Amino acid sequence: MQDNELAELGVAAAAAAIRDGDITSESYAAALLRRARENSELNAFITIDESAVLDAARDADKARAAGAGAPLLGVPIGVKDSYATRGLRTTLGVGTLADFTPDEDADAVGSIKDAGGIILGKVNLVEMSFGLTGHNSRYGQVRNPYGHDHVPGGSSSGSGASVAARLVPAALGGDTVGSIRVPASLCGVVGFKPTTGRWPRGGVAPISHTLDTTGVLARSVEDCALIDQVVTAGVSATRSARSDRSDLRGTRFAVAPRQYMELIDPETEAQFENALLRLRDAGAEVVEIDLGEDFSALADRLTWNLFFRETRESVTEFLRQNNFPVSFDDIYSELKPELKEVWSHLVLPSGQGHLPQEAYEATLAVERPELQRRFGKVFTSGFDALLFSTTPCPAPPIEHRSKFTVAGEEVNDLFLAKNTVPTSGAGLPGISLPIGLSGHGLPIGLEIDAAYGHDRELLDLARRVESVLDTLPAPA
């Protein structure tokens, strides 16, 4: 196979080709490394150890020749640089850790390696995973493969860009308010956020212990499902009774336009409506619902309150438990000015916007359960999933990443997570699928959310939805 053909292989396809002897892990890894070098202007990676990757690929080929058949044997993937990786530097996106190499792998990385996978490199991210546009003052702005002057989303910026650009078939990411699903949507790939707590989070730099989840970006639902099975050791791996159907007959989808389409880019809305038409044509029932006048305000308030209130405690404990050679104060002192200002106001206990303890407890005891109740009612009412546009607009230009216009209204970068925030607040599983391109060739995504803990059912349903949608062309 030529490099371009090798680069198009997904995780499952590459694993099968290596297992069957059609390709070698070394030839596959070498092709991906060449592509990573050729596409260095994307700033998708912070660290790649090429010799270590090729050594691991040769070892995989020897293991295959000796009869090994691990599910990911010889397949390289990317890892967000918020995950600790043994023997490979881990920066969390900050200059304070530019020379730090951990002694242990994050739990999810260990699972990938145990399944025969190879870590191709550490992908770029926003400092401490705080941001949605891919801007990193130390390691460079990540660029969108479908438009290099546009943002890739964040905070798993390099994960989305590297998968879309065919530098890796999949990449691990992290999601607190949308940091897997937003870059998946803007970069035209599949992004799976598991139910909060389903995937292990050990060894991954946190923001909020209530909201954080690890997850994966790939180019197909099949590949996300394979990685999910590896990382969870097959937890709840049984498929739903309808998973083998090639159509969507008997499936009921809910849509909530009042909550998710109040302000939306016209092209995004048109692509979303076209996707709903395709689902109906495939036999699905699509029903409009209303989640309540105060739904968006409730979801925004509780999610962002937890996001900022839990950062200091979560980061401090993570650094201590994982033997990182810095303190919270060390990291804070070196943050880029705009992020340092946010932390000063909202994260530090001395900040004017810091959430008081009583309000924090009410957020956990009253507001979050109420949001979960609203979502729960959707799924107990006979709906299989909730659908909405993952982001309300395509990727804005890097030049205007902080403030841009959607449908004539000026918004800021937090608007990119407007639709993903409620899912995170409730801890639900969600997956973003590409549904088309804007007139400027920028991807648009559809999110599918399922009931809490119903991850395998969600993945099975997403496979069927994917089968009725068009496949995006690779970026030029």
Cα 409 to Cα 418: distance, rounded to the nearest angstrom: 14
Long-range own/partner contacts, residues 410-418 (CB < 8 A, 24 or more apart):
411/263, 413/131, 413/132, 413/133, 414/132, 416/132, 416/133, 416/153, 416/178, 416/182, 416/186, 416/391, 416/392, 417/132, 417/177, 417/178, 417/182, 417/391, 418/263, 418/296, 418/391, 418/392
Q: What is the dihedral of CA 122, 45, 172, 248, to 10 degrees?
A: -170
Tokens 């909530």 sit at which residue? 256
Cα 343 to Cα 345: distance, rounded to the nearest angstrom: 5
Cα 164 to Cα 224: distance, rounded to the nearest angstrom: 14
User: What are the residue numbers of the active site?
Assistant: 80, 155, 179
Instruction: Phi first, then psi: give them for residue 207, nearest 5 degrees.
Output: -120, -55
Alpha helices (runs of H) in 354-400, residue ranges in sequence order: 357-362, 368-380
Instruction: Phi first, then psi: give them for residue 118, nearest 5 degrees.
Output: -120, 140
Query: H or E stretch including 406?
Result: strand 403-406
Query: H or E stretch including 110?
Result: helix 107-114
b/e map of 422-439 (b: 16 or more CB within 10 Å)? bbbbbbbbbbbbbbbbbe
Cα 127 to Cα 339: distance, rounded to the nearest angstrom: 8
List CB contacts of 59: < 8 A, sequence separation 6 or more: none
Cα 376 to Cα 396: distance, rounded to the nearest angstrom: 33
Residue 116 gets which letter from DSSP? T
Cα 252 to Cα 330: distance, rounded to the nearest angstrom: 50
Burial class (CB in 10 A: 0-12, 13-18, 19+), 113: middle
Q: Are 180 and 215 in contact (CB under 8 A)?
A: yes
Q: Cα 167 from chain centroid?
A: 16
